[in-house]
Each structure stands twice: as C-alpha cells, then as structure tokens.
C-alpha cells in the first residue's frame, strides 16, 4: 500500500510524434518556430547542455529526437547506453532548453522529421551540411527545414568520460584531486623526467595528464610513451619558424581533453599562442636557460658565454604573449668557468632545473 511517502513514478517524459506535431502546428500558427535535433545524450555533460541551449535559441521551442536504447547499442556498442531511454528522456526534459523529447527506434531519424516537420534542424559541429545523412537531408529539404550546424564544446564527450573512468583516471571524491600537468617539449625530456621522478618518489602530489611534442622522434615523447603516459605528436607543418594556428588549436584541445591544471613548457621550441594562452592564462610556465631578463630567446647559453658572463642559470616563469617575459617564479644560478662549452654549461643548468621545476610545481600545488 502506498503510505504517501514514496516518490510517485513520474509520468513518461517521452512525447509521441503526434503530440510534437501538434506543438509544431500551434507554433506555426503563431508565426513561431520549432527547432529539432537528435542524438543519444547518454551521460549528459556541459557540452550537451550548452549545445541544447544554443539549439533552443534558434527558435521558440526545442524537440529532441532521442536514439532508442536499441539504436544506441547499434551505434556505440553493447555496453551502451549507460542510461535507459526513459531516464535519458527524463533528464533531458528537466533542462530549461528542452520542450519535448521523442524516441526513434529506426537507425535514421527520417520518419520523425517527416511526421513533425520542424522549422529548423540543428546538428553538432562534427557534421557539415554536406556530411549529413543523404536520406535525412532529403527529408529535411522535403519539409522545408532550415539546417543549422552548431559548434560543439571542445573536450566534452560521453565516450571520453567513460574512457577516463575505465582507465581509472577519475578518482573517488574523498581522495584529494591530484594536480594535472601537461608537459610540452621538443628535446631530450630531462625536465619531464625530473617531474615524473618527483611524482613517483611521492615528493610531488600530481600526475602528468599528457605530453605533447612537435617532434615525433623527440626524447620526451619516447620517454612519455615508455612511461605509459598519453603522449601526442602535433605536426608543426613545414615552416620551422611558425607553429601554425591549426597546431595551436590541436595542442589546446589535447590539454583541454586531458583536463590539465598547469602547462609546463619544458624545452618546447615553438612559440605558444592563442587559443592556448587564453584558455590556460596564468597557468603556463616555461623553463628558460638564462637568468632572465638576460638572454631571452634562443641560444641563451651560448650568448651568455659569448658575452663573457661569469655566471648564468635558469628561470622558471609564467608564459605570456611576449617571449620569455612573464612573471618570474624562481631562478637558480650556475657558474661559467673559463673554457666551458655551451653543452657543459647547459648540463650544469639542467641539474638545477631538475630540482627547481618540481619545487615550483610543489609550491604551485600548495597555492
């Protein structure tokens, strides 16, 4: 017997095609527009929420055509969906941007488009108008729907979230979250090894979330792969002087996907620009082999020797748009002896960097 304390079973959040068609006709009469989009919407994330808000803003009401459980299984594999169609519909219906949810069981959403006759069809930016399914495209043209491709929020995806959970990357909420470091480098990777060493010996509570290099044969990328870390080569293109916009974007997406807290440029021989600078503002540090502000730019060690300096060193600083110019976080000095080559001095500098860099990261984490 129901004692009145149990939560009532909610009425189904799923609307029939006829109900949505009625809504469409009412809107039409009032000179308003129905927006239609479709998808699996399995584990809802911020990317979905923002996408649906954008879709809703295209018209006056939004209907979602939701893939049935069976069709999600066919598309994504036997372990999906995580949530049933009833639950997915209920969650979606709870969003302010969503007016109705219909479920479709066929592989294509063609029939629902024909039944509902939406005014506007919205699709995520992983599609182009040309790459829409021809059958669905024909149905949209037939009902006279406007097609709008919306940009997706980078780095958010149900599949990626599930992969992170499966890889044990998502920690339980009672464990303190480890600082996630993204390391960019072009060279041997000894500074990367120093960070990894400090993590492994327990002196730095952090994890290396990704390693990115502009050279697929660099020591850093080989070492990262050997350590079983996510390591990415980003093709710099043919111009040795310029790291193109597409590569900057790719770097940014890797860092975002890896959910990085701090970015370390450890011998990255490229100038980092937007979108990375804006996205990780005040969270990018560089290791430079001189006592800044002296000897900014390349060949810093050789130039210090050529200038007859008796000492040089290393500087760890924040990265801004101006090269080797951001706020200094730490420095260490090393002597230059008579007859020293740049290689000898650089090795001396690196020994200091290997202590200083983990130290700066420790302080960063504490802050």
- Catalytic residue positions? 288
Residue 173's region, left for phi above 0, alpha for psi from -120 to 50, else beta, is: alpha
Long-range contacts of 339-342 (CB under 8 A, 24+ apart): 340/305, 341/305, 342/299, 342/301, 342/302, 342/305
Of 26-34, 38-46, 333-341, 349-357, the window that binds ligand GRF (rule: CB under 6 A) is 349-357
Interface residues for ligand GRF in 227-286 (CB under 6 A)? Answer: 266-267
In the complex with ligand GRF, which residue's Cβ is closer, 47 or 187?
187
By the rule CB under 6 A, 80 interacts with ligand GRF? no
By the rule CB under 6 A, 48 interacts with ligand GRF? no
By the rule CB under 6 A, 188 interacts with ligand GRF? yes
In the complex with ligand GRF, which residue's Cβ is closer, 122 or 194?
194
By the rule CB under 6 A, 213 interacts with ligand GRF? no
Compute the radius of gyration of the chain from its Cα atoms. 27
Least distance in angstroms from the C-beta of 342 to ligand GRF: 11
Of 25-33, 133-141, 322-330, 347-355, the window that binds ligand GRF (rule: CB under 6 A) is 347-355
C-alpha 159/C-alpha 156 separation (Å) is 9
By the rule CB under 6 A, 59 interacts with ligand GRF? no
Of 15-23, 64-72, 99-107, 187-195, the window that binds ligand GRF (rule: CB under 6 A) is 187-195
In the complex with ligand GRF, which residue's Cβ is closer, 49 or 328?
328
3-state secondary structure 295-343: CCCCCHHHHHHHCCCCEEEEEEEECCCCCCCCCEEEEEEEECCCCCCHH
By the rule CB under 6 A, 317 interacts with ligand GRF? no
Among 118, 185, 236, 313, binds ligand GRF (CB under 6 A): 185
Q: Which DSSP helix (H) or strand (E) runs through 21?
A: helix 17-29
Long-range contacts of 219-222 (CB under 8 A, 24+ apart): 219/187, 219/188, 219/189, 219/190, 220/183, 220/185, 220/186, 220/187, 220/188, 220/189, 220/192, 220/266, 220/267, 221/185, 221/189, 222/189
Among 67, 110, 190, 256, binds ligand GRF (CB under 6 A): 190
Within a 13 Å sphere around the CA of 249, how many CA atoms are in the beta-carbon half? 4
By the rule CB under 6 A, 348 interacts with ligand GRF? no
Structure tokens at 297: 């730019």
By the rule CB under 6 A, 314 interacts with ligand GRF? yes
By the rule CB under 6 A, 81 interacts with ligand GRF? no
Least distance in angstroms from the C-beta of 62 to ligand GRF: 50
C-alpha 58/C-alpha 31 separation (Å) is 14
| SS3 assignment, position 278 | helix
By the rule CB under 6 A, 158 interacts with ligand GRF? no
In the complex with ligand GRF, which residue's Cβ is closer, 126 or 343?
343
By the rule CB under 6 A, 289 interacts with ligand GRF? yes
User: Which stretches of the chain bind ligand GRF, using CB under 6 A?
Assistant: 185, 187-191, 220, 266-267, 287-289, 314, 349-350, 353
């Amino acid at each position: 017997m129901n004692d009145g304390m149990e939560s009532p079973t909610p009425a189904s959040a799923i609307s029939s095609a006829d109900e949505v068609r009625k809504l469409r006709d009412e809107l039409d009469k009032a000179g308003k527009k129905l927006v239609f989009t479709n998808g699996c919407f399995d584990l809802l994330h911020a990317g979905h929420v923002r996408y649906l808000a954008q879709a809703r803003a295209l018209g006056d009401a939004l209907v979602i055509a939701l893939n049935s459980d069976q069709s999600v299984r066919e598309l994504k594999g036997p372990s999906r969906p995580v949530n049933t169609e009833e639950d997915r519909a209920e969650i979606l219906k709870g969003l302010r941007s969503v007016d109705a949810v219909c479920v479709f069981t066929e592989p294509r959403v063609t029939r629902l488009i024909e039944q509902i006759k939406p005014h506007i069809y919205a699709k995520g930016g992983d599609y182009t108008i040309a790459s829409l399914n021809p059958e669905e495209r024909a149905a949209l043209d037939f009902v006279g729907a406007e097609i709008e491709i919306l940009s997706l929020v980078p780095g958010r995806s149900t599949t990626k979230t599930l992969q992170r959970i499966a890889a044990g990357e998502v920690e339980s909420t009672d464990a303190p979250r480890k600082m996630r470091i993204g390391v960019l480098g072009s060279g041997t990777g000894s500074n990367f090894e120093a960070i990894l060493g400090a993590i492994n010996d327990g002196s730095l509570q952090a994890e290396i979330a990704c390693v990115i290099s502009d050279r697929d044969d660099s020591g850093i990328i080989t070492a990262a792969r050997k350590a079983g870390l996510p390591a990415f080569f980003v093709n710099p293109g043919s111009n040795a002087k310029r790291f193109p916009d597409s590569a900057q974007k790719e770097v940014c997406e890797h860092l975002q996907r890896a959910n990085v807290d701090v970015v370390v440029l450890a011998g990255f021989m490229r100038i980092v620009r937007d979108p990375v600078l804006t996205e990780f503002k005040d969270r990018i540090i560089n290791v430079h082999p001189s006592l800044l502000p002296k000897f900014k730019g390349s060949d810093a060690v050789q130039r210090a020797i050529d200038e007859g300096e008796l000492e040089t060193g290393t500087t760890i600083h924040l990265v801004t748009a101006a090269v080797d110019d951001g706020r200094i976080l730490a420095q260490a000095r090393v002597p230059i002896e008579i007859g020293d080559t740049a290689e000898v001095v650089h090795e001396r500098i690196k020994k200091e960097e290997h202590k200083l860099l983990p130290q700066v990261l420790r302080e960063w984490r504490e802050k």
